[in-house]
Amino acid sequence: MVLAAGEGARLRPLTKHRPKPMLPAATKPILEHVFDALVDAGITEITVVVGYGHTHVQSHFGSTYRDSSLEYVVQDKQLGSGHALLAAESAVSEPRLVLNGDQLVAGQIVEDVLDAHENDDDALATLGLIRHADVGEYGGVICEDDGTVETIVERPRDDRTYKLNAGVYAFEPELFDYLHGPEPHLNEYSLVDGIANAVDAEETVRGVTSDGIWIDATYPWDLLEVTETLFESADGVESTVSSTARVHESATIVEPTVISADCVVGPGAVVGPNVALGENVTVGANAVVEHSVVDADTRVGSGAALVDCVTGRNVRVGTGSTVVGGPGDVRVGDRVHEGEQLGALLADRVRDDGGVTYAPGTIVGSDAVINAGTTVRGTVEEGTEVQ
């Protein structure tokens, strides 16, 4: 069971028109990487709990993925991971593997959790854990020497040594009794609270520590780090140029870079390193794209330069426009994140008319229009025309 119902509000404006699991990690949706990990671990039947923007998920993947069947359960209101799981309770009568659909996890973690749970006759649930320097924004777990979970908390604030909860769980159907138990916190039913209830009731819950990729994109600039990590990892993505892409003989491709189907890279252009071009992207003559994630159907004009840039789909960057690169201060909601490695985020269908300069940390909402010769900084709201 894959929990893919959430929006990813802190990734707005990228999630204005599609859910977080469908944002690109390199050139594939995050959720596709999750499915790959499951299929590689031998899973042949996958139930996907969808909610916000669920039609994007269902229309993209359909009823099968790499010969594994996909069934969908719609969570009408996004009330937390526990509530998402309860949406599929009626379909669960035997042990289940559950993982988050909006975080990248190595297939090794999935295999380790499956093996540990199948070989443990006592465990009500088994959790996948990794060693991670910072668990403060995620879930922390403390285990006894034999792997029995002693403490599991969300966003721990004390100075104890935790392992990070990787969001991969195997459990028996009886766990639902504990998911019904906790009162919702801030109107959200947490899967972790349900597991903590089971631990408090002295049920046996185990943790198994794995190596391998675990990545979460919480904010827009994280998509740059996700792509870079995938390039660096042995079980990530390889530097490739699609056979249907057209790269001019005078263009320069600096690895690692992924260039998807039907892309066009013009004469004298430089693409890479650490660049992911989605399908049908055009990079004009003498343009430079470096350390960027450029989503499908985007056009980068002649002589333009994108550094530390994330785009949505169908963006138009005009001739000679420049994203100078980070670090920059980025406002997300009512919080300013200082010194983040983001040149600019250009959401779906942004258009600039050329000669535009984007100050570090700029976020431009979908359907905005930037007139020629403008310098843009800060946050530009959806649908705005900047003169």
Q: How is the chain split into domains, by residue range?
A: 2-216, 238-386
Answer yes or no: are the C-beta atoms of 19 and 3 closer than 8 Å: no
Is it the case that residue 206 has pLDDT exceeding 70? yes
Task: Identify the residue with better confidence: 252 or 80.
Answer: 252
Which of the residue ranges 2-16, 246-260, 309-323 would you say has the lowest mean pLDDT? 2-16
Per-residue confidence band for 92, with pLDDT thresholds at 50, 70 and 90:
low
| pLDDT score, position 186 | 46
Per-residue pLDDT of 251-295, as tens digits, reads 999 999 999 999 999 999 999 999 999 999 999 999 999 999 999
Please, are residues 98 and 3 in contact by the beta-carbon 8 Å criterion? yes
Kindly give the residue spans of alpha helices, DSSP state H, lying in 46-202. 54-61, 81-86, 107-118, 176-179, 191-200
Report the C-alpha gap between 372 and 387 in whole angstroms: 8
Q: What share of the chain is helix, strand, coil (3-state, %, to 5)?
A: 20, 35, 45
Q: Is the pLDDT of residue 87 over 60?
A: no
Residue 349 has pLDDT above 90, yes or no: yes
CATH code, residues 238-386: 2.160.10.10
pLDDT recorded at residue 194: 80
H helix runs in 132-221, sequence order:
176-179, 191-200
Residue 82 has pLDDT above 70, yes or no: no
Which of 71-85, 103-117, 280-294 has the highest mean predicted lDDT (pLDDT)? 280-294
Six-digit token string for 262: 């039907």
What is the separation of C-alpha 211 from the centre of its chain, rounded to a whole number of angstroms? 19
**CATH top class, domain 2-216:** alpha beta
CB 63 within 8 A of CB 69: yes
Amino acid in position 108: Q
Q: In the Cβ-directed half-sphere of 108, how many Cα atoms lie within 13 Å? A: 12
Residues in contact with 243: Cβ distance below 8 Å, sequence separation at least 6, in sequence order: none
The residue written with tokens 């994630």 in the block is: 293
